[in-house]
Amino acid sequence: MVDPDGRLVHGDFEPSSELGLHLGIYLQHNAGAVVHTHAPACTAVASVRTSCRASTTPCSPSAVAVPVAPYATFGSRELAENVVAALAGRSAVLMASHGAITYGSTLAKAYEAMELLGVGLRSLPPDAPPRPSARVLTAEQTEAVVTAAREKQYGAPRKGRPPRIKT
């Protein structure tokens, strides 16, 4: 758990490399909760499309456009800025070659937004045309991802503290 300034106040693990992104959403969109996923369907659709549609309610035939925020390396200020801007006026966005993020006033509402986005992804017709050129990371972008992943040491316990093992 972190405070509004991003300082760790509770827990055994360092905050996510996407801390700036999450804090930006909390601050700019008055969010109560954020749900962020790297689900394969989200990443795949965000790699080949410029947007998709998501249901507005679980049983509603109406849908809203969900944009794809421009690509930037994970954990970067540029990614945070791209996503926060793309969320203007909506509660869900796909992140190019990355995944998806939603928010709501509560965790239940943020999760429901992600579920509704998933319905939209699953309802894409199989022959839906992709964008003119699918997003493939350049060699430079790939190297930036590899470097960032090395620096972040995902899943590493907080420095000086062994991980808690649940039994």
> Is 18 an active-site residue?
yes
Question: Token digits for 57?
Answer: 């309610």
CA-based nearest residue to 50, from 69, 73, 72, 74: 69
- What length is written for the chain? 167
Out of 14, 18, 81, 115, the active site residue is 18
Catalytic amino acids? 18
